[in-house]
């Protein structure tokens, strides 16, 4: 049996809300960077990036602590859209929100994380949060470049530095975010090479990819979502999740970008950018002060 996870958690006051001021855990503006063409605020608003959400979630679940925590505590299979909604609420709030809105969403996430623990995982574990943050950055950049255009090195560097907030807004210390993209790539490659997915997480994933108890229109779209999700995963992760590549034999062209026509300004105008502060369905409830569900991001 694995040894218990030891995590320095925020102290908790009555009602289960962490007592620590969220401004102490990295909530605030990202470190100053040189101006350029694209930054994180532009980047996260592109609704077409949601096409990569499935593979991002599976990569998160591949980390056993995240996978077991979600399988044990999440209502995703009963309310399949909730994890996407709450994850994107968090992303929009910490990247685009005011300081007060950022504090509000972090308090919500911290409160939901209190019961998510066992002998082998803890939602306050900064290493788990670091991996979740890494998947949001890495897959976001890859999907943007597949769908729109190649980013300049300066733009990728800017987005990389700003993306640290996905983790530092919670319990990830600033010095845990790899100092350089080369260090990040080494961390990423090691995680992909060493993560092992067990049957518990595989079973949960099968339910997730079937659509769970989604409304009929969502279930009708699940074959496409499964196609995209499996096609965008690294080959080793497909094998770990027991997702046969033969089911999507033509997805190689998608993964290489050959079947994705790059979106021009006209294409992007039709697809639209997600308006997170006002009308985005995934986060509108949070901006109106609603409580976040039990499917908060780890």
pLDDT in tens, 126-148: 999 999 999 999 999 999 998 88
What pLDDT, on the 0 to 100 scale, is given for residue 10? 58
Whether 169 shows a pLDDT value over 60: the answer reads yes
What pLDDT, on the 0 to 100 scale, is given for residue 241? 97
pLDDT average, residue stretch 254-280: 46
pLDDT average, residue stretch 64-74: 93
What pLDDT, on the 0 to 100 scale, is given for residue 213? 67
Match 């897959």 to its residue by tokens: 139
Whether 72 shows a pLDDT value over 70: the answer reads yes
Beta-carbon contacts of 33 under 8 Å, excluding residues fewer than 6 positions away, are 39, 157, 158, 161, 162
Q: How confident is the model at residue 297 (pLDDT cuts 50, 70, 90)?
A: low
Question: What string of DSSP letters covers 224-243?
Answer: HHHHHHHHHS-HHHHHHTT-
What pLDDT, on the 0 to 100 scale, is given for residue 71? 92
Count up the domains in the chain and report the number: 1
In a domain, 42, yes or no: yes
What pLDDT, on the 0 to 100 scale, is given for residue 285? 42
Q: How confident is the model at residue 246 (pLDDT cuts 50, 70, 90)?
A: low
Whether 248 shows a pLDDT value over 50: the answer reads no
CA dist 92 to 86, 148, 184, 233, 277, Å? Answer: 10, 20, 23, 24, 8
pLDDT digits (tens, 9 = 90+) for 215-231: 777 777 778 888 889 99
Residue 204 and residue 87: Cα distance in Å, rounded?
Answer: 18
Average pLDDT, the chain: 77
Whether 74 shows a pLDDT value over 50: the answer reads yes
In a domain, 122, yes or no: yes
In a domain, 294, yes or no: no
In a domain, 5, yes or no: no
Whether 95 shows a pLDDT value over 60: the answer reads yes
Q: How confident is the model at residue 24 (pLDDT cuts 50, 70, 90)?
A: very low
In a domain, 134, yes or no: yes
Most confident of 5-9, 114-118, 175-179, 221-225: 175-179
Q: How far is CA 96 from the centre of its chain?
A: 16
Whether 179 shows a pLDDT value over 60: the answer reads yes
219: enclosing H helix or E strand: helix 216-232
What pLDDT, on the 0 to 100 scale, is given for residue 257? 46
pLDDT average, residue stretch 175-183: 98
pLDDT average, residue stretch 75-89: 73
Structural domain range at position 96: 22-287
Measured N-to-C along each axis, helices 53-62 and 126-147 cross at an angle, to the nearest 10 degrees, of 150
In a domain, 15, yes or no: no
192 backbone dihedrals φ, ψ, rounded to 5°: -65, -35
Q: Residue 63 in contact with residue 128, Cβ under 8 Å?
A: yes
DSSP 196: -
pTM of the model: 0.78
Beta-carbon contacts of 38 under 8 Å, excluding residues fewer than 6 positions away, are 151, 155, 158, 159
What pLDDT, on the 0 to 100 scale, is given for residue 103? 93
Q: How confident is the model at residue 9 (pLDDT cuts 50, 70, 90)?
A: low
Q: Which two tokens stand for residue 147?
A: 């769908």
Whether 253 shows a pLDDT value over 80: the answer reads no
In a domain, 7, yes or no: no
Residue 241 and residue 103: Cα distance in Å, rounded?
Answer: 36
In a domain, 183, yes or no: yes
């Amino acid at each position: 049996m694995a040894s218990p996870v030891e995590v320095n958690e925020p102290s908790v006051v009555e009602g289960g809300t962490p007592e620590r001021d969220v401004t102490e855990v990295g909530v605030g503006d990202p470190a100053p960077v040189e101006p350029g063409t694209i930054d994180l605020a532009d980047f996260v608003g592109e609704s077409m990036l949601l096409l990569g959400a499935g593979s991002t979630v599976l990569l998160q679940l591949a980390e056993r602590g995240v996978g077991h925590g979600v399988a044990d505590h999440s209502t995703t299979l009963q309310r399949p859209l909730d994890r996407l909604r709450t994850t994107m609420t968090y992303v929009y709030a910490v990247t685009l929100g005011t300081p007060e809105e950022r504090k509000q969403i972090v308090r919500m996430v911290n409160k939901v994380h209190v019961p998510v623990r066992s002998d082998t995982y803890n939602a306050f574990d900064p290493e788990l949060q670091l991996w979740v943050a890494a998947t949001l950055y890495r897959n976001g950049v890859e999907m943007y470049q597949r769908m729109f255009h190649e980013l300049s090195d300066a733009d990728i560097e800017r987005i990389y530095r700003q993306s640290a907030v996905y983790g530092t807004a919670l319990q990830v210390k600033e010095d845990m975010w790899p100092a350089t993209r080369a260090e990040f790539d080494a961390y990423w490659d090691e995680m992909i090479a060493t993560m092992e997915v067990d049957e518990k997480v595989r079973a949960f994933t099968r339910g997730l990819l079937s659509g769970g108890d989604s409304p009929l229109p969502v279930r009708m779209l699940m074959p496409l979502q499964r196609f995209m999700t499996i096609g965008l995963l690294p080959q080793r992760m497909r094998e770990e999740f027991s997702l046969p590549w033969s089911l999507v034999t033509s997805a190689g062209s998608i993964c290489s970008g050959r079947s994705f026509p790059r979106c021009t300004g006209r294409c992007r105008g039709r697809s639209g950018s997600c308006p997170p502060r006002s009308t985005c369905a995934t986060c509108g409830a949070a901006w109106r002060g609603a409580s976040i569900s039990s499917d908060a991001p780890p």
